[in-house]
Amino acid sequence: MTETPVHEINHYINGTRTPKEPDRRAPVYNPATGEQTGAVALADAERTRDAITAAHRALAEWQAMTPLRRARVMFRFKALLERDLSRIAESITREHGKVLSDARGEVTRGLEVVEFACGIPHLLKGEHSGNVGSDVDSWSQRHPVGVCAGITPFNFPAMVPMWMFPIAIACGNTFILKPSEKAPSTPLLLAELLEEAGLPAGVFNVLNGDRESVETLLTDERVGAISFVGSTPIAESIYATGAAHGKRVQALGGAKNHMVIMPDADIEGAADALMGAAYGSAGERCMAISVAVPVGEETAERLVAALKARLANLRIGNGLDADEPEMGPLVTRDHRDKVAEYVEIGLREGAELVHDGREVDVPGHPDGFYMGACLFDHVSTDMRIYNEEIFGPVLSVVRASDFDEAVAIVNRHEFGNGTAIFTRDGDAARTYAVAIEAGMVGINVPIPVPMAFYSFGGWKRSRFGVLHAHGPDGVRFYTRMKTITARWPRGVRDDNQFVMPTMR
């Protein structure tokens, strides 16, 4: 094995890459080879306050710039993202492990939010009513919140930050991105492109770090809004701490997404869809399907057989290889071991392991963090492998006897991020979409991630806070509404009035 030099990954504050000292460091790996490739800086409270100061100073000038001119920066950023799409995708694969085509898809989904943000002059238009009372006009307008921070997970190093900062900065805010310390290089590439697009220094900052920097962001009074995406325990605590310090917070958490397969569904088509939805990106997607709920014994038998046949041929390997595999490694060795431990737990709990992918051999990469796909059948809803988010390539089959039982199973789970139903029956699909307690529903669509011009977010313990990410909710989150009521004097006025005003 050739030794890869370990590179230093620092911060981008006030338009410059910061010097190396005095930060603590965490290792960054290429999961496909198992090598340490980087050492990422972990900001302390002082470094975090430097980033907040830079963002705070840049605020007045940036928010005074017309929305049209802010949109033009977004247009240029979009063009640069298109130019550098391959470079960004490769950087994602190198630190996350997902296969290259999947990484390209991720960048494209982020780019779509930039396209949405290019329409900010239109999106910021308020409402206007003439003559709400005699000679009185009233209108609303949207103002930026101020300094906003985004704290993001490892599994979408480009897309999840791009759910946040394009809209935030187009609205006139400045932004501090605190990416995952497991995949920190890609956000720095995005910062370079924003600079090239003409964004003034301090408007967008990348602060690498862990808990210490997050705690400072949550408590510093100059930060007005926090967007978080990650696991539920952290989301809940960020929501509580941020709110207690007077900030608006949107905190998206974990998931356990169910796909219901009705007896009338195209079972082969559903199995194809499940393979991508359960095992794509090694199951490390918040919208991955981790529970299949076939309705009726015959449906279950056919579905499990169809999945088993496909699993025998799943190609696993380094996502950067020319003959691109279908599934790459897990993000770290620890995470791989944790997922493997869940398979042990499932066996102890009495689930039937139909396909065991734990022992996988990827030629040329003996130290990569690989784990093959696992399929459990006869999983019951009291098992830990059913209730907990595994976040790996492990699919559980929970059999339901009828449609109502399937709906009840999905609705009893504490998470409610996304869900899907596969059926040819419009009535079943429509009833499911209405009855199901989840934020995003697919009908014969396994991963129903809303487009950039809709908003993304789950229900129940998959999201804390009122507003979803991107789309119209993104504009609402990153702006404060002001409503103005105006009357202009017309010649000689009446005497002063001392009663509560009512519109006449």
Q: Should residue 236 be labelled a site residue for ligand NAD when binding is judged by CB under 6 A?
A: no
**Bridge partners (DSSP) listed for residue 420:** 259, 442
**Looking at beta carbons only, is 178 or 355 nearer to ligand NAD?**
178
**Bridge partners (DSSP) listed for residue 415:** 460
Which whole-number Å values give the CA distances from 498 to 367, 494, 501, in the listed order? 80, 12, 8
Q: Should residue 231 be labelled a site residue for ligand NAD when binding is judged by CB under 6 A?
A: yes
Q: Tokens 């103005």 appear where? A: 484
**Looking at beta carbons only, is 230 or 263 nearer to ligand NAD?**
230
**Looking at beta carbons only, is 149 or 373 nearer to ligand NAD?**
149
Chain positions 57 to 86 lying near ligand NAD, rule: CB under 6 A, are: none
Q: Should residue 152 be labelled a site residue for ligand NAD when binding is judged by CB under 6 A?
A: yes
Sign of CA dihedral 435, 439, 445, 450: positive
Please, how many CA atoms are within 13 Å of residue 18, restricted to the half-sphere of its CB?
24
By CB under 6 A, name the one of 77, 116, 154, 239 that touches ligand NAD: 154
Q: Which DSSP category does 314 fall into?
A: -
Q: Should residue 151 be labelled a site residue for ligand NAD when binding is judged by CB under 6 A?
A: yes
Determine the Cα–Cα distance for residues 144 and 475; give it in Å rounded to an integer.
Answer: 9
The side-by-side arrangement of strands in the sheet containing 440-443 is: 352-355, 374-377, 394-397, 289-294, 257-261, 418-422, 440-443
Strands 35-42 and 7-9: parallel
Question: Least distance from C-beta 183 to ligand NAD, angstroms?
Answer: 8
Q: Should residue 144 be labelled a site residue for ligand NAD when binding is judged by CB under 6 A?
A: no
Question: Least distance from C-beta 118 to ligand NAD, angstroms?
Answer: 23
Q: Should residue 391 be labelled a site residue for ligand NAD when binding is judged by CB under 6 A?
A: yes
By CB under 6 A, name the one of 14, 30, 155, 174 that touches ligand NAD: 155
418: which 2 tokens? 């996304």
**Looking at beta carbons only, is 160 or 189 nearer to ligand NAD?**
160
Q: Should residue 252 be labelled a site residue for ligand NAD when binding is judged by CB under 6 A?
A: yes
Q: Should residue 230 be labelled a site residue for ligand NAD when binding is judged by CB under 6 A?
A: yes
By CB under 6 A, name the one of 18, 216, 417, 419 that touches ligand NAD: 417
Measuring CA to CA, which residue among 231, 504, 267, 210 is closest to residue 391?
231
Longest CA–CA separation in the chain, Å: 90
Question: Least distance from C-beta 270 to ligand NAD, angstroms?
Answer: 23
Question: Least distance from C-beta 415 to ligand NAD, angstroms?
Answer: 9
Active site residue 286: yes
Q: Should residue 186 be labelled a site residue for ligand NAD when binding is judged by CB under 6 A?
A: no
Phi, psi of 331 (to 5 degrees): -70, -40
In DSSP notation, 25-79 reads EEEEEETTTTEEEEEEEE--HHHHHHHHHHHHHHHHHHHHS-HHHHHHHHHHHHH
Which residues bind to ligand NAD, rule: CB under 6 A? 151-156, 160, 178, 180-181, 210-211, 214, 229-231, 234, 252-255, 286, 389, 391, 417, 458, 462
Catalytic residues: 286
